[in-house]
Amino acid sequence: MDPVVLSESFFQRAAGWEAVQHARLLLGHGHVLSSNWSPPILKGVVQSGDITYRAGLVIQSEIDVENLCSCRQSRELGTLCPHSVAVGLHWLRPAAAASNAATTAKPSSAPAGVPSSRTGGPKPSIPAPGARMLQRAPQGKPLAVHVVVPPNFSDSLQRGRLACVLEGVSGTDRAPLDAWIRRGPVALAPEDEAVVAAAEAVAQGNTPGMLQLPLADAAPLLAALVGFPRVTLGRSQPFAISAASAPLPIHARLQPDGTITLSLRPQSKPPALVPVGAALWLVQGPPHPGIAPVSLPPAVRAVLQGPVTLTRPQVPLFLSRDWPALAASPSFDANFQPGDFELTPEPPRFLLELAGGLAQLHATLQCAYGTRIMTVGVTQPGEAAWIPDPSSPRRYGTRDLAAEQAAFQRLRQAGFAGPDAQGRWQLVGQDRVVAYFARVHPRLERDWEVHLEERLERSTQASFERVTPRLNITPSGTQWFDLDVAYAAESGTVIPASEIQQLLRGGSRRLRNGKLALIDSGAVEELQEILVDAAPEQVAG
C-alpha cells in the first residue's frame, strides 16, 4: 500500500475542521518544537503552557489513523487532537519552504496563482495544420530572445490585454521572432526556450513576432517571463516582471466592539492592479517600470475596493488563515497581534429530543453554547468553531469537543445507533427501550435538558410507573429515631425488597394497574450514598 501523502486537506478529513484551526493556532504561536514524518509514523513535540506533549499519528491509510499524543483528549476519548495535527502542519511548513527555496534557486519562478513554466516549461500545444514554428537544434545558430513591451503597456493592461513584441538577436542581427523561421534551425538557452514555448502555446502552435492577448489567456506567458532578463519598455528601458510579491500598504485595526477593519493607507495615486489568471499584479511606473504579483489572501481582496469590516465570528479564521500572509509584508500595519486574543473552552448545555414509541426510539442530540445550538456529530457549512465573548473584544470561547464526545459516547453506551447525516440516532426493540427508560433516562434528565415528543410522552405515562425510595422517620425517644426505607410506585403500590434488585438490573414488573414499574436507579444510588455517610445501625433489615 502506498504511503499517505500529508496535506492540510488530509488532516481536515481525518481530524475535522476545528482540530485543524486549533492546530494552526498552536503552530502560529510557536508551540510546536519538532516534527518528523517516517511513514507510517508522524511524531513530534508540542509545548502547551507548562506541559510538553509527545504527539503524533500512526497513519496506515486515509481511514486508519491512530493518535499517539499523551494529552487527555487522546487518552480518554481516542480522537485526533490538535497537538498531533499541529505536528503534521509543522512538518508540512518546512517541506513547503524547502520546495520554494529549490524553485527560487532556478533562473526565475512564477508567483502564487500563476503556473510555473521554469520547471520543464509548458507543454507545447499541438501545432495546427500549417502552423509556422521556429526550428530548434543544438547545432543551430545561437539565438537570444528579447521581449519588448509598448510604452502604453500600463494602459493596455488596464483595458484587459497583454501586448508585447518578441524578437530574436544573433550577433548584430535583430529581427521579429517569426522572421527567424525561414533562416534555419536555432539554438535556444533554457530560459529562452521556456519563453518561446509559452508564446507558441498561446499562439496555437505558431511562433509569434507579436502578441495581443486577453489577460485571462496570458498567465502561461507571464509565468515564463517572471525574472526573464531581456524584457524592456520600448527598445532600451529595463522592464522588470518580478517574482517577489509587491507590498500593499494595508492597515488592520481592532475596533472597541471586537470587529477588525482592513483598509489601504491613503495614497496620492491608487495602486494599478490587474488580474491575470488566478493572480493579481501591481503595475509599477517610473523610475523602475514593471509588474509584480500581489500576495493578498482571496478573502481580503475586497479591501482593494474599499475598507472591509470583519465581524467577530470572522476574526478567528482571519487570524489563523490570512494573518500570516499579510504580516509577512513590510508595509502591513496593525494595532494588535494574534497573541492578544484569548481562546478558552466553553461548557455546553446538552439538549436531547426523543420521539417514537416503545418499539423504537428516535433521538437528536444538540449542544448549546449561549444562544448557538449545534447538532452533535453534524458540521454545518460555515459553522464557526469560536464563540465571541460579548464582554471582551479579545476573548473567544471554543467548543468543548471533549464534552461533546463524552455525550456522544453516553448515547452509544445506552444502545443507540447513529448518528446519520442529519444527526439522528435510533434505539430499536421494546426490551432495549424499556431498559433505557429504566436505567439511563433518569440520569440524562438530571444532566441534560431532555424533551419527549408529545405522543411519546403520552405513551410512557400510560405504560410506565416510576418506583422511588421513600424514607419514613419515626421518633424514638430523646435524640433517637427509626429510619425505614420503602420502595413504592407513583400509584402507591409498595414493591417488596426482594424485587428491588431485579428492577435495578434493568428488569420490570407489571403492576395491578397494568403499567410497568421502573426503578429510578440514580435515586437509589443517592440514597445509598446518604446511608453510607450517616452510618446508621441496621436492625432486622
* Statement: residue 330 has pLDDT above 60: yes
The set of residues, in sequence order, having a beta carbon less than 8 Å from that of 227 and lying 6+ positions away, is 107, 108, 109, 241, 242, 243
Check whether 529 has a pLDDT greater than 50: yes
| Between residues 369 and 454, the one the model is more confident about | 454
> CA-to-CA distance for 465 and 325, rounded, in angstroms?
64
Asked if residues 5 and 91 have their Cβ atoms less than 8 Å apart, the reply is no
Say which amino acid occupies 397.
G
Residue 372 has pLDDT above 90, yes or no: no
Task: Return the percentage of the chain with pLDDT > 90, whole number.
Answer: 22
pTM of the model: 0.47
CB-based contacts of 494, cutoff 8 Å, min separation 6:
486, 487, 488
Note the pLDDT tens digit of each residue in 104-122: 334 444 444 444 443 344 4
Q: What is the DSSP letter of 436?
A: I
Q: What is the pLDDT of residue 381?
A: 53
Chain position carrying cell 419514613: 472
Question: What would the mean pLDDT of 325-337 be, rounded to a whole number?
Answer: 87
What is residue 180's DSSP assignment? Answer: G
Q: Which residue has the higher pLDDT, 73 or 38?
A: 38
Residues 6 or more apart in contact with residue 395 via CB below 8 angstroms: 341, 342, 344, 388, 389
Dihedral of the alpha carbons of 25, 26, 31, 35, in degrees to the nearest 10: -120
Q: What angle do CA 191, 193, 197 make, to 5 degrees?
A: 125
Show Cβ contacts of residue 253 under 8 Å, excluding neighbours closer than 6 positions.
Answer: 260, 261, 263, 334, 335
Please tell me which residue, 123 or 315, carries the higher pLDDT value. 315
Q: What is residue 230's predicted lDDT score, i.e. its pLDDT?
A: 94
Is 402 in contact with 73 (CB distance < 8 Å)?
yes
> What pLDDT shows up at residue 476?
66
Range 507-528 average pLDDT: 59
Question: pLDDT averaged over the chain?
Answer: 79
- pLDDT exceeds cutoff 70 at 382: no
- H-helix or E-strand containing 428? strand 424-428
* Residue carrying C-alpha cell 502560529: 28
SS3 222: helix
Distances (CA, A) of 59 to 34, 62, 77, 95: 18, 7, 18, 18
pLDDT band at 229 (very low <50, low <70, confident <90, very high): very high
Q: Which residue has the higher pLDDT, 286 or 492?
A: 286
The rounded distance, in Å, linking the Cα atoms of 16 and 433 is 33
Q: Residues 211, 212, 218, 222: is their CA dihedral positive or negative?
A: positive
Band of the pLDDT at 102, cuts 50, 70, 90?
A: very low
Report how far residue 111's alpha carbon sits from residue 113's, in angstroms, rounded to the nearest whole number. 6
Per-residue HEC secondary structure of 253-275 comes to EECCCCCEEEEECCCCCCCEEEE
Tell me whether the omega of the peptide bond preceding residue 287 falls within 30 degrees of 0, making it cis: yes
Residue 520, pLDDT score: 61
In angstroms, the CA 140 to CA 109 distance is 27
Of the two residues 248 and 136, the one the predictor is more confident about is: 136
135: cell is 526550428
Rama region for 87: left / alpha / beta (φ>0; ψ in -120 to 50; rest): alpha
pLDDT of residue 335: 93
Give Cβ neighbours of residue 408 (< 8 Å, ≥ 6 apart). 365, 376, 377
Of the candidate ranges 34-38, 247-251, 405-409, the one whose mean pLDDT is the lowest: 247-251
Q: What is the pLDDT of residue 107?
A: 41
Q: What band does 523 get if pLDDT is binned at 50, 70 and 90?
A: low
pLDDT tens, 433-485? 888 887 788 889 889 999 999 999 888 887 877 766 665 566 666 666 666 66
pLDDT digits 0-9 by tens, 392-405 = 899 888 778 788 88
| pLDDT at position 375 | 86
Pairwise CA distance, residues 50 & 465, whole Å: 53
What is the SS3 assignment for 29? coil
* CA 124 to the chain's CA centroid: 38
What's the pLDDT score for residue 218?
83
Residue that wins the pLDDT comparison between 73 and 191? 191
Instruction: Give the pLDDT confidence score for residue 124 in this predicted structure.
Output: 43
pLDDT at 305: 80
Q: Is the pLDDT of residue 145 over 80?
A: yes
- Angle at 490 (CA atoms; ends 485, 493), nearest 5 degrees: 65
Do 349 and 336 meet the contact criterion of CB atoms below 8 Å apart? no
What is the C-alpha R_g of the chain? Answer: 36
pLDDT interval class at 39 (50, 70, 90): confident
Position 109 scores a pLDDT of: 45
Instruction: Of 26-35, 256-265, 270-279, give the lowest mean pLDDT range.
Output: 270-279
pLDDT of residue 252: 93
